[in-house]
C-alpha cells in the first residue's frame, strides 16, 4: 500500500470537501494556489487529524504545514518592542500641558485630639483624592495608611515619623513623576502645652521635584506653618517664612515653584504673606484669579521658571470631600487649583 504524506491544511480541505480556498473557486478544480492565513493556523489548537484511508488503497498521513507563516517568536517580539520604542523616541517632546492640584489639611491627629473624626473620615478622604494630579496634604499624622489606601497616585513622598511618632504631617501624592524628597523642620515654633502646641511635633515643609517633561521641572514645597494668633505664634510664623524664603533662594533659584499648604495666615498676617510672596517671587493663585476668599489660610502659591512657565487657570474650594450626610471630612476645606504649563 502506498503512503503519501500531504500537508495538514490540504488534508483538512479534502476531508471537508470545501473548494473555496483549497485550490479552486466554488466547486471548480484547479485555479490559483490558496492563500494561507497564519493567524488561523496559530489559533487552531486542535490535534493533527489521524490517518485516514483514501479509496481503500492509499493511506494519507497528515503533516503540519511548515513554512514561514508561524507564531511570532521571542526575537520577533523584541523587534516589535524596539520598533515601538524607536517610534516613541521619534515623537516630538511634550512642551505644554495641564494638571490639577489640591491642598488639604486632613485633620489627621489621633482620635480624641483631632477636632475632626479622622478614624471614620480618613478612609473616606482617600478615594476622593484620585481626580487630582498633585495632592499636597497637611496634618497627615496618625492615619497615613488609611489616607493612601485607596489613592492611586504612583508617586508619593516619604512619610516622616517624629519625636512622638506623629511626624511633620506633610505629604505629597502625584500622578506626575516626583524626585527624591527632603523634610525640613522649622527652626522656630511656639507652644508646647499652650498656643496651639506647635512644638509638640516637628512641623515644617517637605520639598521635592515634579517632572512635567524633559527639562520641565517644578520644585514643590508642602508646608504647615505655626498656628495661633498670639504674639508668640505670629513671631514664630514670621521666622518660619524667613526660613522658607531663604531655602527657596538657595535651592530653587531660577526654577518654577509651587508652595502650598496650611499657612495659618489670616487677614492680620498680611505682612507675613507679602514677605513670602515678594521674597520668593510667588503669586497667590487665589488673588490672581480674583477668588472670593483672599484670606483663606489654605493657599497655593506659584511662580514660573526659566525652563517652564506656570499659569493658574482656576481656583476653587472643592465641595466633594463630604460624607454621606454632607458633613465635611476635615476641619479644613480643600482648595483646588488648575494649572497650565509650557516650555518657553
pLDDT of residue 162: 59
Q: Coil, strand, or helix at residue 247?
A: helix
Task: Copy the grid coordinates of residue 105.
Answer: 489639611
Best CA proximity match to 108, nearest among 98, 124, 122: 122
Give 133's strand partners.
none
Number of CB atoms found within 10 A of residue 119's CB: 15
Give 60's strand partners.
4, 52
CA distances, 156 to each of 27, 130, 330 (Å): 68, 13, 21
pLDDT of residue 45: 42
Give residues with Cβ within 8 angstroms of 196, minimum separation 6. 190, 226, 227, 228, 233
Please state the pTM of the whole predicted model: 0.74
Best CA proximity match to 170, nearest among 303, 260, 302: 260
Give the domain ranges of the chain: 2-74+81-88, 96-342
Best CA proximity match to 251, nearest among 163, 322, 155, 181: 181
Residue 242 backbone phi and psi in degrees, to 5: -60, -45
Q: Where are the alpha helices (DSSP H) in 135-293?
A: 144-148, 231-251, 270-280, 285-288
pLDDT of residue 193: 60
pLDDT of residue 82: 73
Give 120's strand partners.
none
Do the Cβ atoms of 265 and 297 come closer than 8 Å?
Answer: yes
Q: Which is the CATH superfamily of the domain at 96-342?
A: Endonuclease/exonuclease/phosphatase (3.60.10.10)
pLDDT of residue 60: 40
Per-residue pLDDT 10s for the chain (344 aa) are 444 444 444 444 444 443 444 444 443 333 433 333 434 333 444 444 444 444 444 444 444 444 444 454 556 666 667 766 666 566 788 999 999 999 999 999 998 888 899 999 999 999 999 999 999 999 999 999 999 999 999 999 999 865 566 789 999 999 999 999 999 999 999 977 655 678 988 899 999 999 999 999 999 999 999 999 999 999 999 999 999 999 999 999 999 999 999 999 999 999 999 999 999 999 999 999 999 999 999 999 999 999 999 999 999 999 999 999 999 999 999 999 999 999 99
DSSP 10-26: HHHHHHHT--BTTTBST
Number of CB atoms found within 10 A of residue 5's CB: 11
pLDDT of residue 196: 62
Is the CA virtual torsion 41, 47, 51, 53 positive or negative?
A: negative
pLDDT of residue 35: 38
pLDDT of residue 115: 83
Amino acid at each position: 500500500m502506498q503512503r503519501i504524506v500531504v500537508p495538514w491544511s490540504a488534508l483538512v480541505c479534502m476531508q471537508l470537501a470545501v473548494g473555496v480556498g483549497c485550490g479552486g473557486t466554488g466547486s471548480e478544480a484547479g485555479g490559483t494556489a490558496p492563500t494561507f492565513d497564519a493567524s488561523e493556523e496559530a489559533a487552531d489548537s486542535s490535534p493533527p487529524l489521524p490517518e485516514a484511508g483514501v479509496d481503500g488503497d492509499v493511506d494519507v498521513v497528515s503533516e503540519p504545514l511548515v513554512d514561514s507563516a508561524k507564531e511570532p517568536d521571542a526575537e520577533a517580539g523584541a523587534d516589535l518592542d524596539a520598533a515601538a520604542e524607536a517610534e516613541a523616541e521619534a515623537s516630538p517632546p511634550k512642551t505644554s500641558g495641564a494638571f490639577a492640584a489640591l491642598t488639604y489639611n486632613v485633620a489627621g491627629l489621633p482620635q480624641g485630639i483631632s477636632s475632626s473624626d479622622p478614624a471614620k473620615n480618613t478612609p473616606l478622604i482617600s478615594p476622593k483624592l484620585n481626580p487630582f494630579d498633585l495632592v499636597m496634604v497637611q496634618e497627615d499624622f496618625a492615619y497615613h495608611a488609611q489616607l493612601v489606601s485607596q489613592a492611586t497616585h504612583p508617586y508619593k513622598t516619604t512619610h516622616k515619623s517624629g519625636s512622638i511618632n506623629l511626624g511633620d504631617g506633610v505629604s505629597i501624592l502625584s500622578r506626575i513623576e516626583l524626585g527624591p524628597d527632603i523634610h525640613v523642620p522649622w527652626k522656630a515654633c511656639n507652644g508646647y502645652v499652650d498656643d496651639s502646641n506647635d512644638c509638640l511635633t516637628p512641623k515644617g515643609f517637605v520639598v521635592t521635584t515634579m517632572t512635567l517633561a524633559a527639562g520641565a521641572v517644578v520644585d514643590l514645597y508642602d508646608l504647615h506653618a505655626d498656628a495661633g494668633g498670639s504674639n508668640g505664634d505670629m513671631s514664630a510664623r514670621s521666622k518660619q517664612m524667613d526660613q522658607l524664603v531663604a531655602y527657596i533662594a538657595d535651592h530653587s533659584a531660577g526654577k518654577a515653584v509651587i508652595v502650598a499648604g496650611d499657612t495659618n495666615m489670616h487677614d492680620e498676617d498680611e505682612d507675613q504673606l507679602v514677605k513670602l510672596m515678594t521674597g520668593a517671587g510667588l503669586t497667590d493663585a487665589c488673588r490672581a484669579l480674583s477668588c472670593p476668599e483672599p484670606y483663606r489660610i489654605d493657599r497655593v502659591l506659584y511662580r514660573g521658571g526659566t525652563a517652564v512657565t506656570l499659569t493658574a487657570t482656576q481656583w476653587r474650594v472643592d465641595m466633594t470631600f463630604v460624607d454621606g450626610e454632607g458633613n465635611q471630612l476635615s476641619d479644613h476645606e480643600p482648595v483646588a487649583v488648575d494649572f497650565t504649563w509650557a516650555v518657553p
